[in-house]
Amino acid sequence: MKKRELIIIGAGAAGMMAAAAAAKNGVSVLIMEKMEKAGRKIRITGKGRCNITNTKDWNEFSTHIHPNPSFFKHPFYSFSNKDTIAFFESIGLQCTVERGDRVYPESQLATDVVEKLTGHLKSAGVEIRYNSAVRDIVQESGIIKQVVYENGGKIFKEDADAVIIATGGLSYPSTGSDGDGYKFAEKLGISLKDCHPSLTALKPDFDYIPLKWLILKNVGLSLFVGKDMVQHEMGELEFTDNGLEGSIGYKVSRRAVRALINREKVSLVLDLKPAVDKASLSSRLLKDMETDKNIRRLLRHYMPEQLVETFISAIPGRFSSLTTPDVRIADEIASFMKEWKMDIKDYTSYERAVITAGGIALDEIVAKKMVSRKYPNLFFAGEVIDLDGDTGGYNLQIAFSTGYTAGREASYLIRKLKDSSSE
């Protein structure tokens, strides 16, 4: 059998984009995919609509990248959000920009993204070998030589001139990404930054189940670790059967989860009325008490009905109805609306976390080429590396930019090797 020039491990967003970039430069590419289909994770992105990227310019875009946006600058400039849109439109997937500069396929179907990508790869001569789980990457004297994989219970070996690890992280393991890339890296002596779930639900210490599917819009949320406020966000908070989610719940989850893992005390302070100060809120409440002395009914003018019982039971004082307007109670309620403190006891793990924070350490990789510093013919792309973004299309752009850069650079290396062997 003809030796493959480039083997890519993983047919996710990063692996497929890497394959497209390498095939464009005339390299023969084989993708090994352990699942029965490509892009299992892409199919569930953006609630089935796939938020492909975000049109913000680098200055704003970079504020949504963690932990080191300057590392990502190189791959982003090699293949930017604009390049992503142009690429997808060139392969027949029209895109549309929505609220928050988020880009989606015009068809609103994540499956179309996968179908267009796999169709493009097929026409570019890329082979995707399904149900093929890579078990080992073999090196000799610091050069990657071979990939060992399992298919149908049998072990096979495939030689390659270069290999790209695009195996994803640990989140949603049912889609195929269950941490194999980290095992390969460890065996090759490549260091990792500790992984943890991110963009995930935080579990407060009260019964949040009655609040399931409640969405609070335009609220403020402050994250406290110990006594220090470390992050403040404004936007949408959602209660689900897993706890607190929504855009701002997810935004604070990265630091909150890390602090919980470090056994630090984590709490959130919710501001239900960020546009009004406490004194004005208190005098408005006091005035309303003149016409309605039933607190539950009165609160329905200030918050969704679904929230009222949980809100009242969270306030230390007990009051359900009044005989007369009460300044102390108005103050107490106003304070609680402005600063509802929730202790966070736990978080949802990888089974439903959108992203994995941590991964292949950035100082193991040359950002301009996405190549390993230890192995000149080993490349990395996508969620497997220690880069993650907020919600809004940033994570797929990380996969596309790093995938494209790795694929392009692997193809340059392969061409160079070919040229030197024919001299």
CB 38 within 8 Å of CB 114: yes
Least distance (Å) between residue 353 CB and ligand FAD: 7
243 sits near ligand FAD (criterion: CB under 6 A):
no
Out of 71, 172, 208, 224, which residue is the one contacting ligand FAD (CB under 6 A)? 172
Choose the binding region for ligand FAD from 111-119, 160-168, 230-238, 327-335 (rule: CB under 6 A).
Answer: 160-168
20 sits near ligand FAD (criterion: CB under 6 A):
no
Applying the rule CB under 6 A, the residues between 29 and 88 that interact with ligand FAD are 32-35, 40-42, 44-46, 50-51
Q: Helix, strand, or coil here: 128?
A: strand
| String marking each residue 377-406 x if it binds ligand FAD according to CB under 6 A | -----xx---------xxxx--x-------
Least distance (Å) between residue 183 CB and ligand FAD: 8
Q: Identify which of residues 128 and 259 has a Cβ nearer to ligand FAD in the complex.
A: 128
For residue 395, what is the DSSP state? Answer: H
Distance linking the first and last C-alpha atoms of the chain: 24
Give the tokens for residue 194: 């500790």
Cα gap 230→341, rounded to integer Å: 15
CB atoms within 10 A of CB 408: 22
Count of residues interacting with ligand FAD (CB under 6 A): 39
Choose the binding region for ligand FAD from 63-71, 168-176, 289-297, 319-327 (rule: CB under 6 A).
Answer: 168-176
Q: Identify which of residues 5 and 180 has a Cβ nearer to ligand FAD in the complex.
A: 180
Considering only CA atoms, which of 196, 173, 189 is closest in space to residue 12?
A: 173
Look-up of token digits 């470390």: 230
* E runs forming strands in 241-339: 243-245, 266-271
Q: Helix, strand, or coil here: 317?
A: coil
Least distance (Å) between residue 374 CB and ligand FAD: 20
Give the tokens for residue 130: 């399904």
Cα gap 173→191, rounded to integer Å: 22
Least distance (Å) between residue 78 CB and ligand FAD: 16
Q: Give per-residue burial for 138-166: e unless 16+ CB within 10 Å, then b.
A: ebeeeebeebebeeeeeeeebebbbbbbb
CB 391 within 8 Å of CB 247: yes
Q: Identify which of residues 31 and 237 has a Cβ nearer to ligand FAD in the complex.
A: 31
338 sits near ligand FAD (criterion: CB under 6 A):
no
CB 32 within 8 Å of CB 8: yes
Applying the rule CB under 6 A, the residues between 198 and 227 that interact with ligand FAD are none
Out of 171, 348, 372, 405, which residue is the one contacting ligand FAD (CB under 6 A)? 171
| String marking each residue 94-133 x if it binds ligand FAD according to CB under 6 A | ---------------------------------------x
Residues within the interface to ligand FAD (CB under 6 A): 9-15, 32-35, 40-42, 44-46, 50-51, 133-134, 166-168, 171-172, 175-177, 180, 354-355, 382-383, 393-396, 399
